[in-house]
Amino acid sequence: MSQIDIKFEEYKSLRSSIDMHLKQINEILAIMVAATSALLGYGLHSEVPWIFLTPLPIILSCAYLIRTQMEEVLRKGAYIMIKYENELEYIGWESTLYEVRRSSKEDKKQEEDKKWKMLERIIPTWKDAATDSKAIFLIAMILILICIVCFSYFIYDFIISVISVISIIFVFFLSLSMVLRRVLEAYTYDEEKRYVEKFNKAINEVKNKRG
């Protein structure tokens, strides 16, 4: 097999892998919504408040898995751009998308979206986040809030309710900063730039070692 054939097969494999990761993101999101809905339904039927807490680890786990899939898409896209599009001086999808993200980031610096201004103060990455990242973030956040509301409603002891709600809110914001925020950061120009620089460095080091 010639070097050209090897490169062609690698390119096809990477593109197929990216498609697979994108498909898995939708599947994981569907599982997250379905599992949470089922547990909420069971909780409403049984009226046991602690049941409403069980979806939280599922939501966070699914959000983390989605983030890892997004990371793989970005990583492989950056490699394709450097290894194939840049070396061949071919203006392909990954190079164009990278430039779109860069210019979009510059444009957003000049814009002021009053609708999301408060949210941007709490979560600075919101402004630069991709639309699908925002959608996943909002879905996860809404599910978590529903769990908290249902749990609070079925807790009859006021003191326990207050303590529990405060604890859950703390966990919510902790998870938000640790997991869901990382979902927002996926597909941003800064994140892709980090991978581009990393792969550029790695490829150059390999070339230098081989002479």
Percent of the chain residues topping a pLDDT of 70: 77
Residue 120 has pLDDT above 80, yes or no: no
Q: What is the mean pLDDT of residues 77-85?
A: 85
Backbone torsion region of residue 21, taken as left when φ is above 0, otherwise alpha when ψ lies between -120 and 50, otherwise beta: alpha
> How many Cα atoms sit within 13 Å of 206 on the Cβ side?
7
Residue 65 CA: distances (Å) to CA of 40, 52, 153: 22, 22, 30
DSSP string over 128-173: T--HHHHHHHHHHHHHHHHHHHHHHHH---HHHHHHHHHHHHHHHH
Render the burial of 106-137: b for 16+ CB within 10 Å, e for the rest: eeeeeeeeeeeeeeeeebebbbbbbebbeebb
Residue pLDDT, tens place only, 87-99: 666 777 888 877 8
On whether the CB atoms of residues 164 and 52 are closer than 8 A, the answer is no
pLDDT at position 65, please? 93
pLDDT at position 18, please? 92
Question: pLDDT band for position 68 (50/70/90)?
Answer: very high
pLDDT at position 119, please? 59
Residue 47 has pLDDT above 80, yes or no: yes
Domain edges within the chain: 3-210
